[in-house]
Amino acid sequence: MINLIPLLIIIPLLGLIIGLLVSSSSEKYIGWVALIITTTHIILTPIFIVYWLLIGNINIKEIVLYHSNDYEFFIDFYFDHVTAVYLFTGSLLTFMVTVYSKYYLHSEKGYKRFFNSMLLFFTGYNIVVLSGNFETMFIGWEILGISSFLLIAFYRDRYLPIKNAMKVFSVYRIGDVGLILTMWLSHHLWHENVTFAKLKNLDIVIEHLETHTILGISISLFIVLAAVVKSAQLPFSSWLARAMEGPSPSSAIFYGSLSVHMGAFLLIRTFPFWENQISVRILVGSIGLMTAFVTNYIARVQPSIKGQIAYSSASQIGLIFLEIALGLEYFALFHFMGNAFLRTYQLLISPSSVAYLIKEQFYTYNEEKIEKEKSAFMKKIGYSFYVLSIKEWYLDYFMYRFLWKPLKWIGKKLKFIGNPYILLLLLVVYIISRVLLHNKISFVPIIEAQLPLIFSIFGFVFVLRSFSERYNAFLAWGLIIMSHLWIDLSVSFNQYFTFEHTLIYLSGILISGFIGFICLFNLSRKKENLDLAHFYGYAENHKVTNFFFLVACLGVSGFPITTAFLGKDLVFTHIQETQFLLTFLTSVSFVVDGIATIKIYSRLFLGEYKRQ
Amino acid sequence: MSSSKFTFDEEEVLHELKHHLPAQMPLKDFVHHNTLHSFQNKNFYNALHEASEIFGYNTTLFVEDYREMLKNNHIEEKILDKMIISEKGKENFTFWKDKVLSYPYKKPQDKKVGRLRPFWKDAYEIDINAGIRPSLFRILNAYFDQGISIWQFPTAKYGLLGSIREVEKNSFISFFKTNRVRKMLLAEKQPQIIELLKILVGNDTSLYKQYLYDQQFMHPGWSGMVATLEENPHGLLDKKPTKLKDLIILELLLEIDALENEVGKNWLPLAEKIKIPAMSDIHDISQENKEYYDVIKIWQNAFEWTYYDGVLAGLQSHKEKEKRKEKSFQAMFCIDDRECSMRRYLEATDENCETFGLPGFFGVPFWYKPLGGKSYIKLCPVPLNPKNLICEIDDHREVRKKDMYLSQHTHRLFRGWLIVNTIGFLSIIRLFLNLFRPTLKLATVSSLKHTSQISHYTIENKNVDDKENGYQIGFTIDEMVVLVENVLRNIGFIDNYAPLVYVVGHGATSVNNPHYAAYDCGACSGRPGSINARVLCYMANHPEVRKRLSVKNIIIPSTTQFVPAIHDTTRDEFEFYDDVVEMSEENKILHRKNKHTFHQASDKNSKERACYFDTMDIKQKDKKIHQQIKRRSVSLFEPRPELNHADNALCIVARRQLSADLFLNRRSFLNSYDHTTDPDGTYLFNVLSAAIPVIGGINLEYYFSKVDNHKLGVGTKLPLNVMGLIGVANGIDGDLKPGLPSQMVELHDPVRLMLIVEHSPEIILNTINKSQSLHEWVYNQWINLACINPYNQLIYIFKDGQFEEYKPIQTIEHIKDIDDFLEHQHDNIHTRILD
């Protein structure tokens, strides 16, 4: 029976694979596949829950993906009460939304795409919920990110959905790095892929943390970062309302209920680890409380139904964060279920609100509004709060001002790197360094000590340059690949990074990069415009190229479909926990790399297709 | 070019803008109208050309679409040939035929609006739209919100701009990013459009008009809403004084703000920073693309006439059957195209019954105030301004049920917390039930709830001083007599009364549908027609009214009783308000029998409708299909509860005998009219003046929403977000979307309405010429007009100001068994004759 638990992941994955193979014109089969898959899942889920109730918490070490003397990467599953609650809620809601969408999306263009994205999401969700260690969880976490992107940009021929999908994806990316860094530091703390089961052992946790207080706190902070982003807490709350671009059922299941509660899941899951770090608990509690208040104010002034639901959901999740910090784990789980159910339902019936509220207004409206007498100052305070809330407490502005604008600015300053001579020069530098490294020819030690940092700066600069490239897709794509080469080189100089490691990391990147280039060549052969100044919407007319380029993008950004995913983890394992700057550069490179990749994809394949 | 075009006349430009912007009212009063209303003073095809060149709309199908239709026999080749000859002459026929069939035409892409704005990107590398749209929409939405937000815009006392000023003045936080703009708004003297344009564009006033067009047509939805509310402040219950001018000033300020913030203090006006190429006036239409539009005209005419020709052939070949004089019952329906098939089935189920069609407010215009209502509802066509008010009295039914899931409480912090952790869990059960056993209980909008057997109304006025807010409560006997006489004479229903006359209003049932008002009766301003039916019945049953009518030669036997009813077009259900009529014993027996007839006919009708839903299996029993039809009306997940006016294309103003044996699908509006009782066309004028603007509006809104669903329609309704209860948009930052969603128009064939009148050509022409509005509709070809001359049985069509004889080319098939026909039909159903 224990060995059957992965079925809960395999079934939706199977659905996805079948779904991809069914022709997009046979709506009936696509709907039935999704329905059968989710029905099976909702039947199996209670069986497993009963089984768990009988035998208690389950930890299964599945497959070891990579093994060396000092490093092991393995897939691990875990089943406890948190799993049970999230599994059941997710399975039930996905089932219902599938039934709903099967009719609702009838004859909509993209019927197939919708159900496949949903099954992809559902696969990722189950992986996260059942994961037994950070590494496994991270696989699911990345899947959630990309399926979100695909569903927000569901109406891919329109500008706003694409823009908002990119916005959400970019913010998610920050959360992803939170999780990567958590994994990185955990390796250094535990010297293994620590399982969540092990975290529950209080003695071991205390023993480890006593000697490594700073490390412990840092791990917790990265966990909190990942959770805050995913659950739309301060200061990242503004993405949630902007995610409401897809068909209502997808907004309902993602942003109303399941996806947005994953941050809370991560916190509950890791609670035993930071339970005794009072400062972290205070931090989580205050973020939750502040979010609850601030987003509640924003919810109050929202004049659109979905915006209102989004913000009030975020505000309830704030309270859930607070409950978790207070140690009310069971209550938080209960609260999660209630919030997920209610918001899903509210989003699904949101169009009904017009008739209901207009009627309500018709019978209750009072022409003479009673304005309470207020002092000038109080009135001013009131108005200020109103305007502040309309402006979403500058949350969206903040993201723009402090994250994207500086990146764009630096990118612009780096224009010269696009110069072919400079590129050639850097390529030569790369090859020489690689050869030197391979032949173990030593530099002057002082320089050699600085090389990792220098190369990682190169990587960083390359990816920034790619991010701001607006004229040439080949260049942008090439720069991304190059940036990975520099990162690899940087780590290789940093520590004993065997050729095998390099191979694991770069093989994934290079294969994906190669596929990407082929796709680009294919487009240019068909005389399509390949600058990045506009959205070209090639997905409409180059379906196969679209699919492969998306796969290539995922591969390049370390999505768990190539060895690069493992490689990314290896890279970090070879950075010391004290190498702050190197870590910073490498991790920011990964963030920007994902965004730059998806930007190329969006510009070329999304948007309105105009025939030349 | 004359120099006058280069001077900027603010008032004129604003006036023009208001005219061109979409004129859709807030959702609660959704009423169909001609989307291109601002071009109605021009010829239809010229208007299509101009609107397309100016605004970049698709105003017709594409040439490839028409060619495809020719291949599928949707367009008849003979008719296409005829159109080519009539447009281009016989001598050039082969040349043009070749072009029409195979020249690779592309729709011209250039448009006049939007030429200037992209220069901002060249000048400062900034996307000015992206920067200000979200802030602008949020402020507007917050200001106009009718009840979504818990915390509303602090004040609306001072108008749009004035209220923003008031808030800005009293707030520590500014709507703007820069101090300069804040100061401009708060300055003693309100900023003027022309001053702001000078700052933004520069001294070249010739660019101002273009700039404002570009700016406002970046978001036609919001601008149109503001312009419409400026004209009709009563469109909102919670009044929000509004001017388009305010919106423009606000937007100009936001633009200055964005530039100041992004570029820094020292930026130059657009036309001074870079060189702007000379631009022709927005309304100067070049003749460059004339050939394209000529070809489109040929195709569109061929498409339309393929259909019309079949209908005219059918009308000509019909044989009047001898019918029994004595009728079993009579029923008056709305002219609505959805009643077209319903009436056919009713007549088929009981051969001795007779049906009539007339605008669904049944000639009784009034304001209506439900018990406890805080405002009045107009129950007649929008352009009318009734003097009478009817109030609901002593009603015992439950008017409103609270729905916690739609209430604002769930969005508050602590109350929300309580709700989430308690009844939040019940929502999943509710959802489950609706998915598998949908019922009427949920937040459904249903015509069946509009009135009830136990509701009573102040229909009769006994004292003319009995008034409320200037409206007379109820109708006096004198008024009643006039109204009833007009109604009966208009439709030629002045003798042969059966014991029971049903007056059947119509409405719809839907859930999760922000466009619900578009589903109800257009002649009742987007509400069900049941109360109007009750009012007419009350009048017609009134002994005093009958007495006075008999003096005017309308003799209604005392045994005849008028019975109000409602037909729910979504559920295909009838409800009779028979308790309010004191029915005689004989009539009670007849009524029981007739009810059965109605129910049987509605089963059949629902089957015909089911053919158009491809998720339904139509080979089942009628009853079973009807069950499923009812189910879709209350299913949350059903974006197509019914298909409304989809495929409307005809309006027949004639005696029912003329069209009774024709299978017209569900494409025709049917207005009863008997030329024999109206030889000089007095009543014809009433009929046409009431019908044409309403159904012409419906037809053209469907037309334009179909041909450009992206710009002139809503697009798909699946991702819609409700904004301030006044409109819908995509996402939270989208512009308002006027028009119809794709789900409503996907089965619509975009053809103009063909109005067919039974009378002599001279009388019809005289009637049309009597009114400026009718003249415009017909002479500018926004509808097509044909005449069936009852005196010589010939068909005439209106062309270039006169009628000319028309001989249909197509022959028309017969249907033996309608069930069999429906079950084996394919998507291309032409008009047929029923045997």
Q: Are the Cβ atoms of B154 and A245 closer than 8 angstroms?
A: no
Helix (H, G, I), strand (E, B) or coil at A210: helix
Task: Name the residue of chain A whose CA is nearest to B131's CA.
Answer: A397
User: Which residue(s) pair with B445 in the sheet?
Assistant: B510
pLDDT digits 0-9 by tens, B417-463: 888 888 889 888 888 888 888 876 657 888 888 888 888 899 999 88
State whether residue B412 sits within 8 Å of chain A by CB.
yes
Strand-pair category, A72-79 with A58-67: antiparallel
Cα of A603 to nearest chain B Cα, Å: 16
The pLDDT tens digits of the residues spanning A404-413 come to 888 888 888 8
Dist CA A46 CA A92 (whole Å): 10
Residue A6: inside a domain: yes
User: Would you say residue A108 lies in a domain?
Assistant: yes
Whole-number pLDDT of residue B441: 67
Quick one: A271 and A351 in the same domain? yes
The alpha-carbon gap from B721 to the nearest alpha carbon of chain A, in Å, equals 6
Residue numbers in A near B432 (CB within 8 A): 96
What residues in A contact B149, CB-CB < 8 Å?
300-303, 308
Residue A362 to residue B731, Cβ atoms within 8 A: no
Report residue B72 as tokens: 């599928």
Chain A contact for B404, CB < 8 A? Answer: no
User: Could A304 and B722 be called an inter-chain contact, meaning their C-beta atoms sit closer than 8 Å?
Assistant: yes
Q: Is residue A541 part of a domain?
A: yes
pLDDT of B324 strictly over 70:
no
Residue B427 contacts A, CB cutoff 8 Å: yes
- Max mean pLDDT range (B199-203, B502-506, B519-523): B502-506
Residue A393 lies in a domain: no
List the single residue in A with minimal CA-CA distance to B436: A99
Query: Does residue A220 sit within a domain?
Result: yes
Is A336 in the same domain as A451? Answer: no
CA distances from B585 to B329, B581, B582 (A): 16, 12, 9
Quick one: chain A helix, strand, coil %, rounded to 5? 75, 5, 20
Instruction: Give the per-residue pLDDT at B142.
Output: 94
| Residue B3: per-residue pLDDT | 41
Residues 295-324 of B with CB under 8 A from A: none
Residue with token string 């224009």: A415
For residue A321, being part of any structural domain is answered with: yes
Q: Which residues of A touch B730 (CB under 8 A)?
A: 155, 158, 160-161, 245
**Contact between B722 and A353 using a beta-carbon 8 Å cutoff:** yes
Q: Could you say which of B172, B237, B421 has the minimum Cβ distance to residue A338?
A: B421
Query: Which of A356, A363, A379, A385 to probe by mutation at the B interface, max B CB count within 10 Å?
Result: A356
* Interchain proximity B421–A308, CB inside 8 Å: no
**What would the pLDDT profile of B647-690 be if each residue is shown by its tens digit?**
899 999 999 988 888 888 889 999 999 999 999 999 999 999 98
Residue that terminates a domain, selected from A306, A324, A355 = A355
CB A606 within 8 A of CB A535: yes
Contact B512 A352 (CB under 8 A): yes
The answer to whether the CB atoms of B719 and A251 lie below 8 A apart is yes
DSSP helix/strand/coil, B510? strand
Q: Give the number of A-B residue pairs with CB atoms closer than 8 Å.
A: 272
Q: How many CA atoms lie within 13 A of B800 on its CB side?
A: 3
Chain A nearest-CA residue for B28: A358
The answer to whether residues A434 and A293 belong to one domain is no
Per-residue confidence at B1, pLDDT binned at 50, 70, 90? Answer: very low
Specify the pLDDT at position A400: 83
Q: Give B280→chain A minimum CA distance, Å.
A: 26
> Is there a single domain that holds both residue A161 and residue A265?
yes
With CA atoms as reference, the chain A residue closest to B141 would be A303
Q: Which residues of B touch A309 (CB under 8 A)?
A: 411
State the nearest Cα–Cα gap between B525 and chain A, in angstroms.
16
One-letter amino acid for residue B733 of the chain: D
Q: What would the pLDDT profile of B453-501 be if each residue is shown by its tens digit?
A: 888 899 999 888 888 889 999 999 999 999 999 999 999 999 899 999 9
Q: B129 at the A interface (CB within 8 A)? A: no
Euclidean distance between CA atoms A492 and A501, whole angstroms: 9
Residues of A in contact with B148 (CB under 8 A): 302-305, 308, 353, 357
Long-range pairs of B632-635 with CB within 8 A, sequence gap ≥ 24: B632/B570, B633/B444, B633/B446, B633/B508, B633/B509, B633/B510, B633/B511, B633/B568, B633/B570, B633/B571, B634/B434, B634/B438, B634/B439, B634/B440, B634/B442, B634/B444, B634/B509, B634/B511, B635/A103, B635/B434, B635/B438, B635/B511
Q: Is A394 left (phi over 0), alpha (psi -120 to 50) or beta?
A: left
pLDDT tens digits, B710-761:
999 999 999 999 999 999 999 888 999 999 999 999 889 999 999 999 999 9
Residues of A in contact with B722 (CB under 8 A): 304-306, 350-351, 353-354
Of the candidates A154, A293, A304, the beta carbon closest to that of B721 is on A304
* pLDDT band at residue A291 using 50, 70 and 90 as cut-offs: very high
pLDDT for residue B415: 86
Same domain, A348 and A423: no
> Between B455 and B49, where is the model more confident?
B49
Q: Is the pLDDT of residue A23 over 80?
A: yes
Query: How many separate domains does chain A show?
Result: 2
Question: Is there a single domain that holds both residue A246 and residue A163?
Answer: yes
Q: Which domain holds residue A257?
A: 2-355
SS3 labels along B415-472: HHHHHHHCHHHHHHHHHHHHHHCCCCCCCCEEHHHCCCCCCEECCECCCCCCEECCEE
- Residue whose pair of structure tokens reads 């924003």 in the numeric block: A298
Domain assignment present for residue A386? The answer is no
Beta pairing, strands B445-446 & B354-358: unpaired
Query: Quick one: A418 and A293 in the same domain?
Result: no
Which residue on chain B is closest to A111 by alpha carbon? Answer: B718
Are A317 and A442 contained in the same domain? no
The mean pLDDT value of chain B amounts to 90
Please check whether residue B90 touches A, CB under 8 A: no
Q: With respect to residue A611, please indicate whether it lies within any of the assigned structural domains.
A: no
Mean pLDDT of B787-815: 90
Interface of B with A in 622-661 (CB under 8 A): 635-640
Contact B732 A338 (CB under 8 A): no
Whether residues A319 and A428 share a domain: the answer is no
Q: How far does the CA of residue A313 sit from the closest CA of chain B (Å)?
A: 8
Lowest mean pLDDT among A58-72, A332-346, A502-516, B29-43: A58-72
- Distance (Å) from the C-alpha of residue A281 to the closest C-alpha of chain B? 21
Q: How far is it, in rounded angstroms, from Cα B572 to Cα B509?
A: 10
Whether ipTM > 0.85 holds is yes
Distances (CA, A) of B562 to B330, B380, B392, B540: 9, 20, 21, 7
Q: Rounded to an integer, what distance in angstroms lies between the CA atom of residue A330 and that of residue A341?
A: 17
| Candidates B151, B635, B636; nearest CB to A300 | B151
A242 contacts in chain B (CB < 8 Å): 731-733
Q: Check whether residue A231 and residue A317 sit in a common domain.
A: yes
Query: How close is the nearest chain A Cα to the Cα of B742, in Å?
Result: 10
CB contact at 8 A, B812 and B306: no
Distance CA B390, CA B483 (A): 15
Q: B641 to chain A: nearest residue by CA?
A: A104
Regarding whether A337 and A425 lie in a shared domain, the answer is no
